[in-house]
Amino acid sequence: MAKKRLWKKKLPRRRATTELDLPEPDALDEEPETGPHRRCVLTREVHPKERMIRFVVGPDRAVVPDLAARLPGRGIWLSARGDVLEPGRAEADSHRQLVRAFARAARGSVTVPPNLSSLLEEALVRRVTELLGLARRAGQAMAGFEKAREWLRADRARVVLQASDGSAAERARFLSGVSSAVTIVDPLPGAAMGRLFGRDFVVHVAIAPGKLGESLAIEAGRLAGLRQKTIAVAGRTTAGLNAEVGANG
């Protein structure tokens, strides 16, 4: 007697799911990392890359800041602004929106530190400190009221760093008559700048034109953007990273 063959109904395969209900990928997320501008994954706005922060996704799917923009992998860019990282909504909602934006760009679930804003601020402070130390050792930084003013009068300064906790009156007096090509930033307190120059406290540091000066202006501008502070460029006050960093290089 012939055996009766049993057929099983073939069920459709279920799609793999992730921890997040990911939105459909946007074609704009596939933009190549070329040219001077990048698109923010959260606001979808396009800005010069000097006003953005690059991230990559590590092997463990953790989002990693790449301040120097050198890590391998496709970059994910976010505006360096405090209102983007902490937009004023409930903390959980704000973080969830960031995670979704990164996950959409990465095409998969990712891990984003809940304190990303403070981590970025700490990393930028370290980077500014390291760059200022390099400028001092290279002879491209001059500290002190009179000596830094001499550099300004001789048109030898591209950037001026002032102590964030320095006297407002002294800072204003130092900046009187400053060239329109100079960027003024205040990323560090006086004690932190003083340690780099072997002093207790430094309020004014002039930085010579060049790659180090441009890098300091960019990183200090990003830091100002995260802190929602203002920096002065070309003799006027400008909010955060709207400054024309590098325009006079």
Judge if 27-114 and 117-242 fold alike in CATH terms: no
What is the SS3 assignment for the chain? CCCCCCCCCCCCCCCCCCCCCCCCCCHHHHCCCCCCEEECCCCCCEEEHHHEEEEEECCCCEEEECCCCCCCCCCEEEECCHHHHCCCCCHHHHHHHHHHHHHHHHCCCCECCCCHHHHHHHHHHHHHHHHHHHHHHCCCEEECHHHHHHHHHCCCCCEEEECCCCCHHHHHHHCCCCCCCCEEECCCCHHHHHHHCCCCCCCEEEECCCHHHHHHHHHHHHHHHHHCCEEEECCEEEEHHHCCCCCCC
CATH 3.40.50.1100 fits 117-242, yes or no: no
Query: What CATH number has the domain spanning 27-114?
Result: 3.30.1230.10
Question: What confidence category does residue 128 fall into, taking pLDDT thresholds of 50, 70 and 90?
Answer: very high
pLDDT in tens, 18-74: 334 444 445 455 566 778 899 999 989 999 999 999 999 999 999 999 998 899 988
pLDDT at 96: 85
Distance CA 160, CA 183 (A): 6
Q: Convert 149-182 to b/e letters by CB count within 10 Å (16 or more is b).
A: bebbeeeebbbbbbbbebeeeebeebbeebeeeb
Q: Tell me the whole-structure pTM to 2 decimals.
A: 0.78
Give the range among 28-37, 82-91, 160-169, 234-243 with minimum mean pLDDT: 234-243
Domain residue extents for the chain: 27-114, 117-242
Residue for token pair 């000097």: 50
Burial of 143: CB neighbours in 10 Å, binned 0-12, 13-18, 19+ = buried
Structure tokens at 202: 């430094």
Q: How many CB atoms lie within 10 A of CB 118?
A: 13
User: 114 pLDDT exceeds 70?
Assistant: yes
Q: What is the pLDDT of residues 226-235, one digit of tens each?
A: 998 765 544 4
CB neighbours (10 Å) of residue 147? 12
Burial of residue 23 (number of CB atoms within 10 Å: 0-12, 13-18, 19+): exposed
